[in-house]
Amino acid sequence: MARPARVVRTIVLWLVRIFFGVILGFPFLWMLITTFKRSPDLYNLKNNPFIFNEPPTLDNLRLLFNETLFLRWIANTAFAGAVVVVITLVLAVPAAYALARLTGEWGTQLGIGVFLTYLVPPTLLFIPLSKIVAALGLQDSLWSIIVVYPSFTIPFSTWLLMGFFKSIPKDLEDAAMVDGLTRWGAFIKLMVPMSTSGILTVVIFAFTLVTQDFVYALTFISTAAHQTVGVGVATFLVRGDVFYWQSLMAGCLIAAVPIGILYNIFLDRFIEGFTVGAVK
């Protein structure tokens, strides 16, 4: 009886995997097909939307790369994401360690308070933040969002990393200091390496926020050359009432695939990062 039950469980498991694989992979397949469709094929309601009723074309990619600043938007997004990630790690990792180790129960309460600031809706903050950006003279600059984004990534990352540092037995840290390490040395050589899953989660989270944000990039930046890919593609491929759907899909696909690959490569560590941070 055990073997038939195991076979049934295996079949059910694979059916569930296939089902969710199809559901989650469908948007990418749709974007890929649309990218190479000709306009008459796309807009003809009698055509099957899932196949090429007319020969595929590269004109949509030519429009994206030759008539927009798509590569510049990609570079802006990568630069902003990298800087935001560095700022987040430099500030969130020591803050999380201090709250987890050096302040007792007050650290937990303060950590929850820090996390609550992340829950404030962006629509309530972009007006006061725009005044700060103007006061700093960063209007219409990529640095405007680099300054603003850490105000969201740091609170969440601090709360998340607190769970990792609390999950590491304090006795290990005390033993390291007995062996001659300073607290800073124990932090760098012991705590940080043992929290790589949480740090990796913070890196992915902060970088993803930069690529997905729309409100702040649209509010603070108006020049096309300074835009990020999320706003640039959606703004400059919609001209009046004309939507360049094929080029829009191409831009979305090219921007989404690297992030999807990154998530899948580090999926186990990413899940561990969220679950440990949430439980602790």
pTM above 0.85, yes or no: no
| pLDDT tens-digit map of 156-213 | 888 888 878 887 777 887 787 887 778 788 888 888 888 887 888 888 888 888 888 8
Task: Tell which wins on pLDDT, 104 or 71.
Answer: 71
Where along the chain do its domains lie? 2-57, 62-279
- With CA atoms as reference, report the closest residue to 197 among 225, 176, 168, 173: 168
Q: In the structure, what pLDDT confidence band is assigned to residue 105 with cuts at 50, 70 and 90?
A: low
CATH class of 62-279: mainly alpha
Taking 3-state DSSP, the helix, strand and coil percentages for the chain, each rounded to the nearest 5, stand at: 80, 0, 20
Q: In the structure, what pLDDT confidence band is assigned to residue 275 with cuts at 50, 70 and 90?
A: low
Give the CA distances from residue 49 to residues 28, 58, 96, in Å, rounded to whole numbers and listed in that order: 14, 18, 50
Is the Cα torsion angle 147, 217, 156, 277 positive or negative in sign?
Answer: negative
The two tokens of residue 220 are 């603070």
Pairing of strands 238-239, 242-243: antiparallel
Write the single-letter amino acid at 184: W
Q: Is pLDDT above 80 for 85? A: yes
Q: Is pLDDT above 50 for 264? A: yes
Q: What is the CA radius of gyration of the chain?
A: 23
Residue keyed to tokens 């096309």: 224
